[in-house]
Structure 1
Amino acid sequence: MQQSSAPPSPAQRLDLWLLHARFGRSRSACAQMATGGQVRINRQRVTKAHAQVRSGDILTLPAPDRKTVIVIRIISCAERRQSAPLARLLYEIIPEST
């Protein structure tokens, strides 16, 4: 018998992941952020809300103040939107190197 390799990490649509991680108040706002070219996945500019993200991907997106950007690493995906403390567990912020 042939053994299969490890299953690939689950992927999720970018707009859904942003919603579940609470980077937008609605799915349409998250989709608008993605289609507006404000998000990068692994340094590649994204213009489609259905772009797939997986754990380990690096996202660059506008900070809540919209004047700066933040860089985060996706830790996991969620099936639905949850409380802010639980949403914070979906990613880690990568500090700026000075």
Structure 2
Amino acid sequence: MRRFCVTQDMFDNDKVIIAGTDFHYIKNVLRLKTGDRVQLVDTHGYLYHVQITRFTKNQVITIIIDNAQQIAPPAIHVTIAQSILKEKKWITLFARQQNWG
């Protein structure tokens, strides 16, 4: 089942409205139809099972079919080793590693 990230402003009671690039991906790339189910993860780490109810011109309207459940953080530990670089490249690499978490 496909999983997408959503923000709290996309929720409307028991509905979730998806727009933008996720809308394009759901409709044109995956070619999902009304009645298909997907998973949504909000910014607090809750997982929602939703069903697509309809498509508008630039939105996917979904309805929550399963209560939210907290997702446990992944049990993956990543270690990055890096050789010594020149100052400009080191700053760029350090900034990107900070974005990774």
Task: Give me the TM-score of the superposition, normalised by structure 1.
Answer: 0.26
Task: Give me the TM-score of the superposition, normalised by structure 2.
Answer: 0.25
* Greater Rg over alpha carbons, structure: 2
